[in-house]
Amino acid sequence: MKRYEWMVVAAVAGACSVAIGQEGPAATKSQGHAIVLHAARLFDVEAGKIVTPGEVLVEGERIVAAGTSVEHPAGADVIDLGDMTLMPGLIDAHVHLFLHPGAEDLQTVEESVPQRTILAELAAKADLMAGFTAERDMGTEGAGSADTAVMRAIDAGLIPGPRLRISGNAISILGGHEDAVHYNPAAHVPGNADYANDAEQIVETIREQHKEGSTFVKIYETGTDSEAPGGVNAVPCEEDAALCAQNHLSAQAGDAEFWAFHTPYQYTEAQLKAGVEEAARLGMNVGVHDQGEPGALFAAEAGVASIDHATQLSDATMQLMKEKHIPAVPTFTIFEYFANHAESPAAAAREHAMLDYKIHEFKRQVAVGVPMAVGSDVGPFPHGTQAREFELMVQYGMTPAAVLQADYLNGAQILRWQGQVGELKAGYYADVVAVPGNPLEDITAVERVGFVMKGGVVVKK
Ligand SMILES: [Zn+2]
């Protein structure tokens, strides 16, 4: 995102071990005996309810049982977490480990990939300590496949961090979103993306990225965004009342000017489909940076795994996302951050107008029943602070239980770890966090994670 642009029974264990072998995080297994976690409450993800008290029995890297009480095997370590709520490890479906505050646009020029990789390790640790045990890294933004090294070091237990899905660079068109378009051509300033200009090049780029270790594909589908009251793209409301109703915040149909948001698409539906099919052939899926129409409809038709940012969705796109169960990932936290950290009052006003428009559209999406997932776009703002996203999604219209279910269930779906993460159930990875109080009464509890276990290993207590 760029500023201004936009065990259990043996049968279950056996079934899971096939998938684990393919993912490779074997080194996170704890070698010890059983651990029983006890707390005042436990969040039942499927039911969307709190049960009291809560207990989880862990053996090795997996959950054996969870509920109001579990068996306490002889010799088990019992960890009593007191007045807390046990929940699955949080999922962030949209992060940038290779971005840090204040440098996101020129990092490719100013910082070496080794330097960025060291910072990415620290970012991964910060996210894990904040309770995020699974993340989708939505593009290294110019650091190429350096994320492969971070993912493998985490999986080998060499450094602390969440389970990761990684994409290497995102894919974009020449001169498109995240290309270095405003510089002296003779300086050959590198862009932040891998270029692909047609379906064949998309397929070739995906193969190259996968060869270097990617586990999903990130495509920039829209940009550069423009938005302004009465700007060059604005259409007077009296000419298009329907468009006015969709795009405008304060004026009414019939007014001479209105605030309009426009974002050109980068790839056609057929080109995106070629990418989705090649990703599927390699056992992966595609997430798109997509701020609006008509790119969002192309992406939904092509069958992407998620539509990220999803600021502007037409009725047809929303319907398709419901039918195909394609989650939107609103990424409110980055929009709020940019609005609150703008360089000038004029820029701040513009960012706030963008955020207001986004909130307005999000409420429509929630009312229609578009599936949601939780992704913060952390990186331009400090890693480890992104649980703010849960709070904002509640503030803008979802219930705490719905936001948590969106995070866990739709997050696991997008990250292709369904049945492995996102619930406290027998056979799942023992990725468990505890938050103070009751998160259904105060969602900000997820911003104060006090206990983190990943794969049966306590990493924060
Ligand atoms: Zn992003």
CA 380 to ligand 1 centroid distance, Å? 9
Packed helices 315-324 and 295-302: angle between N→C axes, nearest 10 degrees: 20
Q: How far apart are CA 283 and CA 229, in angstroms?
A: 44
What is the per-residue pLDDT for 6? Answer: 36
How many Å lie between the centroid of ligand 1 and the Cα of residue 140?
Answer: 9
Ligand 1: centre distance to CA 288 (Å): 9
Residue 137 alpha carbon to ligand 1 centre in Å: 8
Residue closest to 124 by CA, chosen among 134, 111, 114: 134
CA of 334 from ligand 1 middle (Å) equals: 9
Give the pLDDT mean for 224-244: 55
* Interval 47-53 mean pLDDT: 98
Residue 130: φ, ψ to 5°: -85, 0
* DSSP state letters, 162-215: -EEEE-SSEEE-TTSTTS--SS-GGG----SEEE--SHHHHHHHHHHHHHTT-S
Statement: residue 254 has pLDDT above 50: no
Lookup result for tokens 């960890």: 79
Ligand 1 centre and the CA of 381: distance in Å?
Answer: 11
- 1 C-alpha vs ligand 1 centroid, how far in Å? 4
Does the pLDDT at position 239 exceed 90?
A: no
Q: Which residues pair with residue 222 across a beta bridge?
A: 265
What percentage of the chain exceeds 70 in pLDDT? 86
Residues 202-223 have a mean pLDDT of 97
What pLDDT score was predicted for residue 348? Answer: 87
pLDDT grade, residue 182 (50/70/90)?
confident
Query: Distance from the CA of 2 to the center of ligand 1, in angstroms?
Result: 8
Residue whose C-alpha is closest to residue 355's, from 369, 368, 340, 367: 340
Q: pLDDT band for 253, please (50, 70, 90 cuts).
A: very low
How much is the average pLDDT of 359-368? 95
Q: What HEC string does 363-420 produce?
A: HHHHHHCCCECCCCCECCCCCCCCCHHHHHHHHCCCCHHHHHHHHHHHHHHHCCCCCC
- Is pLDDT above 60 for 259? no
pLDDT at 353: 83
Q: How many Å lie between the centroid of ligand 1 and the Cα of residue 235?
A: 29
Contacts of 318-325 spanning 24+ positions with Cβ under 8 A:
318/364, 318/365, 318/368, 318/370, 319/368, 321/370, 321/371, 322/368, 322/369, 322/370, 322/371, 324/300, 325/371, 325/413
Give the chain's mean pLDDT.
Answer: 89
Residues 210-239: what's their mean pLDDT? 75
What are the pLDDT digits (tens) for 383-417? Answer: 999 999 999 999 999 999 999 999 999 999 999 99
CA distance 315 to 123: 38
The structural domains of the chain, ordered by start, are: 10-88+425-460 (2.30.40.10), 90-414 (3.20.20.140)
Confidence of residue 4 (pLDDT cuts 50, 70, 90): very low
Reduce the DSSP state of residue 340 to 3 states and report it.
helix
Tell how far the Cα of 135 is from the centroid of ligand 1, in angstroms.
12
Whether 248 has a pLDDT exceeding 70, the answer reads no
Answer positive or negative: Cα dihedral of 220, 224, 228, 233. negative
- What pLDDT sits at residue 108? 86
With H, G, I as helix, E, B as strand and everything else as coil, classify residue 76: coil
Q: 221 and 299 in contact (C-beta within 8 Å)? A: yes
pLDDT at 11: 33
Q: What is the mean pLDDT of residues 223-236?
A: 59
User: What pLDDT was estimated at residue 23?
Assistant: 37
Q: Is the pLDDT assigned to residue 7 strictly greater than 50? A: no
Ligand 1 centroid distance, CA of 292 (Å): 15
Region 249-277 average pLDDT: 75
Cα of 120 to ligand 1 centre, how many Å?
15
- Reported as a single tens digit per residue, the pLDDT across 155-174 is 999 999 999 999 999 999 99
Tell how far the Cα of 287 is from the centroid of ligand 1, in angstroms: 10
Whether pLDDT at 184 is above 70:
yes
Within 10 angstroms of residue 78's Cβ, the number of other Cβ atoms is 11
pLDDT in tens, 283-329: 999 999 999 999 999 999 999 999 999 999 999 999 999 999 999 99
Higher pLDDT among residues 225 and 199, named by residue: 199
Higher local confidence (pLDDT), 152 or 3: 152
How far is the centre of ligand 1, averaged over its atoms, from the C-alpha of 94 (Å)? 6
User: Distance, CA 261 to ligand 1 centroid (Å)?
Assistant: 19
Q: How far is the CA of 412 from the centre of ligand 1 (A)?
A: 18
Instruction: List phi, psi (to 5°) of 44.
Output: -85, 105
Instruction: Determine the pLDDT at residue 229.
Output: 53
Weakest-pLDDT range from 15-24, 246-255, 325-334? 15-24
Task: Using the mean position of ligand 1's atoms as its centre, give its distance from the Cα of residue 308 in Å.
Answer: 8
CB atoms < 10 A from the CB of 259, how many? 20
Q: Is the dihedral of CA 430, 218, 347, 297 positive or negative?
A: negative
Residues 79-126 have pLDDT tens digits of: 999 999 999 999 999 999 999 998 767 888 899 999 999 999 999 999
Structure tokens at 313: 């969705």
What pLDDT shows up at residue 30? 45
Q: Are 244 and 354 in contact (CB under 8 A)?
A: no
**Phi, psi at residue 117, to the nearest 5°?**
-70, -40
